[in-house]
Amino acid sequence: MTAIQVDLLIVGAGPVGLFGAYYAGVRGLSVAVVDSLSQVGGQVSAMYPEKQIFDIAGFPAISGRQLISNLAEQAAPYEPVYLLGQEARQLERVARDGQPDLLVVKTSSGQEVTAGAVVITGGIGTFTPRPLPAGEDFLGKGLEYFVPSSSEYTGKDVVIVGGGDSAVDWALMLQPIAASTTLIHRRDAFRAHHASVEQLKASPVKIITNAQVTQTTGDAQLEAIEIKVTGESTNQTLKCHKLVAALGFTANLGPLREWGVELHDNRHLVVDSAMRTNVSGVFAAGDITHYDGKVRLIAVGFGEVATAVNNAAVHINPDAQLFPGHSTDNQAPLPLSV
């Protein structure tokens, strides 16, 4: 088991957790961010990276991918430690004389993180991609569940499986750079947004409906797939270097339910106006929280996590001020006129 110690541990690297990492840095707190996904960005990266978001303050429109990239860039100067691909599982407490307890979180990879406080920004819980059983042998060797960046798809024969927004968005995104792009969907009708489906139909993406992947073949890397189209007697073989299974996700609060935090509807964590849970040293922000009047939006989560981290800073050091100061402080004044 590997172990690290930080001032603050953030559970969840969605947009709210990333902004929390920035605020931890502003407060001079060392910070680690754990996420069960292999990439940062939570729901935004997993479900709608190519969509424009219109309700982020100060950005009339910004793509999901750009928002997450900006948030990571904003936190980067404070060097957060990202522990990706691991789920935060157990929470233990270490009492100290005359000081607040330390919290120890153990992850699914055997990592132990000791922190002065924990902020849970776990959204709708741990996401698990719905698997594509016929492709599991090539996971990481051609089969993927996300398209974090498009560069690896240049000049490749790409097949995307699914009928939702992610499948359609990724097909549209990769088509201009891939050697070929095929979208396979097991039904006739798409769940994706109507306008995106129309764009897809007008694009060079080859669409095969009422079809399922039955087999994947290759050597070290994926080379081809076999598909069964309903009503056809023989299976088709397609050249395929990259197979993207965009079949959706299941989400589960999972181990966080065992941390002793008061739950609402068995899915959300009850917080007070300082974003404290009932467990001392454990705060929460973003989609995972519940209080009267809660609105689940990124804009709301950003405010909540600023509150959570600043209150966590005071929990860690009771002599610290709650108010962090203004980000504009300590700058040379700009000239009034040019």
Give the tokens for residue 16: 């709210």
When asked if residue 9 is in the footprint of ligand FAD (CB under 6 A), the reply is no
When asked if residue 166 is in the footprint of ligand FAD (CB under 6 A), the reply is no
Binders of ligand FAD in range 289-328 (CB under 6 A):
296-299, 301
Contacts of 278 (CB under 8 A, 6+ apart): 260, 261, 262, 270
CB 29 within 8 A of CB 316: yes
Q: How far is the CB of 214 from ligand FAD (least distance, A)?
A: 30
Q: For helices 64-75 and 15-26, what crossing angle results, to 10°?
A: 20
When asked if residue 162 is in the footprint of ligand FAD (CB under 6 A), the reply is no
- Identity of the residue, 45 or 216, whose beta carbon is nearer to ligand FAD in the bound complex: 45
Q: Give the phi and the psi of residue 68 in degrees, each rounded to 5.
A: -65, -40
Binders of ligand FAD in range 98-157 (CB under 6 A):
121-127
When asked if residue 16 is in the footprint of ligand FAD (CB under 6 A), the reply is yes
Applying CB under 6 A, which part among 23-31, 47-55, 217-225, 272-280 lies near ligand FAD? 47-55
- Identity of the residue, 106 or 228, whose beta carbon is nearer to ligand FAD in the bound complex: 106
Binding mask 231-250 for ligand FAD (x = CB under 6 A): --------------------
- Sheet with 222-229, edge to edge strand ranges: 211-218, 222-229, 236-239
State which amino acid sits at residue 75: A
Find out whether 328 is annotated in a ligand binding site. yes
DSSP 31-93: EEEEESSSSSSHHHHHH-TTSEE--BTTBSSEEHHHHHHHHHHHHGGG-PEEEES--EEEEEE
The C-alpha atoms of residue 123 and residue 253 are separated, in whole angstroms, by 9
Cα–Cα–Cα angle for 93, 98, 103, nearest 5°? Answer: 20
When asked if residue 256 is in the footprint of ligand FAD (CB under 6 A), the reply is yes
When asked if residue 17 is in the footprint of ligand FAD (CB under 6 A), the reply is yes
Residue whose Cβ sits closest to ligand FAD: 123
Residues that bind ligand FAD (CB under 6 A): 11-17, 34-37, 42-44, 47-48, 53, 55, 87-88, 121-127, 254-256, 286-287, 296-299, 301
